[in-house]
Every structure is written in structure tokens, then in C-alpha cells.
Amino acid sequence: MKKQLLFFLALVVCFTMIPQHSNAASQLNGFDSMNQISDENQIIIVNNNGGIGAVVTTYEKSNGEWRKALPTMSAVVGKNGISTKQQEGDGITPTGVYSLGTAFGWGEKPAGVKLPYRTTTANDYWIDDPASSDYNKWVTYNGNPNTRWNSYEILKQPLYKYAVAVNYNTDPIVKGKGSAIFLHVWRSSTSPTAGCVALAEENVKKLLTWIDPAKKPIIVIGKTIQINNLLNDHAEEAASQAVADAQIKANKLRGKYVASSIEEVTLSPQFSSDYSAAKIAILNAQAKINLLQSAKKHELQQGLDAVKPYQIRSAQFIDAINYGKNEVELTRNNVYQFVQNDAFSPELVTSYHLLSAEIRKEELIIGKVYGSETRKYMAEALVKQAKIIRETVIYEVSIYELLNKINNLMAQNDQATALKELEKLDRLKHRAVEIKDAGNKLYPGKYPDLPGMKAFLETYEAETRSKLKK
């Protein structure tokens, strides 16, 4: 008995050590290329391997994982199966990946339908006359249709009690390549269509209530061996279009991130708009490329990488201006208020150090900007005035902090060190006069004497010296 129990436990342990595939992955039925799809979150797969019968499976993406949605359904396709559709009336259901259009029918609209839904009347037709300008379009016409078209589909008929249009041959419409491809109600499980996909009425209604246009549903029609390739091609095409869009938008930024004068250190609304559009387009393209599993991934990545520098340089240019105009200018104005009022307080010291930190950060941001000439004009436009304001009170703040240090040393009964620190005071005051003189020669009137602050510091100095004598 013990041996049997040990054997059973060993089997349990071994089983738990075997890697288990996720339930989500197991539901893909081998259609793993779905994992390359980024924009669409609902997929209908019509799988036909010969004859008119087909299997319809539905998948929905939730939290980044594809899962089977509705129970598997039976369907029928064109009398000549599925293939690349060549011409009107060939009885072929077109292979490929398509979006979905309007839902329609003469039956009562099923509860929960999210697609645009049209109730058909006796005057609604879908035109399959290649000679007509209305080819592959829904037309409502009150007259005799035979006088207007050589061929047309009457939309108010039993097969179209419930239906949804498949966007085949719609953008652009190629005359004669096929029209009126729908998901609709079948005659029976053994009756082919003229090129549509047909299911039992209850299954068409299930599809109509499940399909959510907000989730950008697509339908994939093909044989088992084609499905992954169709999904792969669709993902590649979406990524290619996204890269092309990103390239167009990023190229609009070229040259806008350089300045040849102080006046050009600015952000126009158009530049800001172009930058936002390029950034979004690049992120979108990168997300699609990241999902690809094909050889084209490398090629598309190279195409996107070629224009990314334009967006990065623009971002650095924008960051430098925004930080300078917002953070640096705000703290500069705070310090300038003390200068204008010629009043010293501990709050000035706090504002002074904050301004020094903001200047250092802005200089680091400017240092990343593309082009030495642009960096020069940015420094002049965004940092120069802040530095002047800071230097206007640099020695007032330094003297105040030195006097604070001396008083702290005295509070610790360290008179010897306090006296040594006091020796620095005279040198500091002398240096302050030199700096202001040199500053006013470069920028006349920018370095005022600030007698109010001077009087405050002289009083503080006298109080400090008197304590040292004691």
C-alpha cells in the first residue's frame, strides 16, 4: 500500500513539474499569428478546407490575451469554395482579412446590437451591376430597379433577415471584382451561397450581438494552412502603414529643432502639434513592429529608426524651452522680487538655492539639444537672465550663510573656528564689490548695490562680532 501511495505521489509531483500551456494560448487553435494583431480586438475566422462547408470561430482580446469568444459555428460559403475572387458572379467567397460594415435586416433588431443597423425596406438594393456607378453600393430607390441596373440584390428577402456587410472591394471599388459579400442567414447547411458566408439564423444573431465596432472587428476567410499567413500579412500591412505614417509626420519636424538666433528659441503652435502627431505615430508604429514575428520586422524597424532622431531632437528642444519658460523663469521671478524690494530675508536664501538648482538642471537639458549653435542661443535666451539675477544676490546670500555658520560655531563654544571663519568675511565682502563692478560693465544697471540688504547684513555682522568679543 505504501509503495502504491509513493508511486501516486511521484506521479502528482511529475505532473505539476510539466510546463502547462495557458488556457488562452490553447484556445488559438494553431492560429498563433493572432498575437501579431494590435489594433483589432475581435476576430471572426471562417475556416474552409474544401467544398462549401466552413467552421466559424470567434476570438476576443482581453488584457492582452486572445481567447475564444462564442461556441464554434457551422457555416457555408460560395458554391465554388473560397479563393482569390476574380470576377462578379464566380461563386467564390473571397479569401482575405476584411473589416465589417453595416448590420441590416428586415427582422426585429436583436437586443444588444452595437453595429450601425439599418432596417431594410422593399426599396433597398445592393448593386452588383459592374457597368453601374452604383456598383457594390447600397442604394434606396423608389422606381423600377430594372430600368436602372442590369443586376442587383434585393435586400429585403429571407436570406437577409439578419446580415452584416463584409468590406470586400470597397476601398477602392474595382468594378467587376465582386460585390455584396455578407454574413447572412443560410438556406440550409447544405446550400451554398453566391460568394457570401452564411450561418443558421440564431448564429447570425449571436454574431450581431457579439460584434463591437469599438473593438475594430475583422473577419478572416481562408483555409487552415492560409489563416496564419493571412493574419501575418494583415499585421505586416498594418505595421508598414504605421511606419509610413510615422515617417511622414516625423519628417515634418526636420529643422524645426534648431535655432540661429535668440528669437528662434520659441515654440509655435504648429510645431507643438506636429511634434505630438509624430510622437503618437512613432509609438503606434513601434507597438505594431514589436508584435511582428516575420522577417519584415527588421526592415520596418530600420525604417522607423531612421526618423526617430527627428522626434527625439524635437522633444529635447521642446523640453529645454518649456523648462526654461516655466520652472527657471518662475524661480528667477521669485528672486527678482527680493531684488526689487531690496529686502533680505531667509526666504531669499531658499529661493536663491532653488534658482541655482533650476539653472543647473536647465543647463543639463540644454546640453542634450541638437546643435552647438542652438545650444548657445538657448542658453542666452533661457539661462542668461536667471544667472544675472542669481549673481545679483550671490554674495548677500553667501555673507548671510557665513554669518549663520559663525553663530552656530559660537553656539557650540567653538570660538577658535568661529574666528577663522570670520576672517573669510572681509575677503567675501571685497569680492562682492568686484563682482558687481564687473557685472555692471558687462550689463549696465543689472547689478544694483541693494542698500537695504547691505544694511541688514551689516547689522547682523555687528551683532556677530560683538558676541565674539565677549
- Residue spans per domain, the chain: 23-222
> Other C-beta atoms within 10 Å of 337: how many?
12
For residue range 413-447, list pLDDT tens digits in order: 999 999 888 888 888 877 777 777 787 788 887 78
Q: Is the model's pLDDT at 13 over the cut of 60?
A: no
Annotated active-site residue 184? The verdict is: yes
Beta bridge partners of 154: 125
For residue range 47-90, list pLDDT tens digits in order: 999 999 999 999 999 998 999 999 999 999 999 999 998 899 99
CA-to-CA distance for 99 and 169, rounded, in angstroms?
11
Report the chain's mean pLDDT, rounded to a whole number. 92
CA-to-CA distance for 118 and 115, rounded, in angstroms?
10
Q: Which of 470, 428, 424, 432 is nearest to 450 (CA)?
A: 432
Q: Is the model's pLDDT at 20 over the cut of 50?
A: no
Give me the pLDDT at residue 470, please. Answer: 59
Helix intervals (H) in 184-223: 201-210
Q: How confident is the model at residue 136 (pLDDT cuts 50, 70, 90)?
A: very high
> What burial class does residue 270 get, using C-beta atoms within 10 Å of its C-beta: 0-12 exposed, 13-18 middle, 19+ buried?
exposed
Q: Which of 307, 91, 93 is nearest to 181 (CA)?
A: 93
Residues 6 or more apart whose Cβ sits within 8 Å of residue 74: 53, 54, 55, 56, 189, 199, 200, 203
Annotated active-site residue 196? The verdict is: yes
For residue range 287-340, list pLDDT tens digits in order: 999 999 988 999 999 999 999 999 999 999 999 999 999 999 999 999 999 999
Q: Which of 232, 200, 234, 197 is nearest to 71 (CA)?
A: 200
What is the enclosing helix (H) or strand (E) of 436? Answer: helix 415-442
- As given in the structure block, the three cell numbers for residue 10 are 511521484
Q: Which of 184, 234, 353, 430 is catalytic?
A: 184
Buried b / exposed e across 399-427, counting CB within 10 Å, b at 16+?
bbebbeebbebbeeeeeeebeebbeebee
SS3 content of the chain, % helix, strand, coil (to 5): 55, 15, 30
Q: How confident is the model at residue 8 (pLDDT cuts 50, 70, 90)?
A: very low
Which superfamily, per CATH, for 23-222? L,D-transpeptidase catalytic domain-like (2.40.440.10)
**Contact present, 256 and 314 (Cβ < 8 Å):** yes
pLDDT > 90 fraction of the chain, expressed in percent and rounded: 83
Q: Which of 14, 21, 196, 298 is catalytic?
A: 196
Helix intervals (H) in 217-268: 224-251
Strands 124-127 and 82-83, by their bridges, are: unpaired
- As given in the structure block, the three cell numbers for residue 458 are 551689516
Tell me, yes or no, if the pTM score tops 0.85. Answer: no
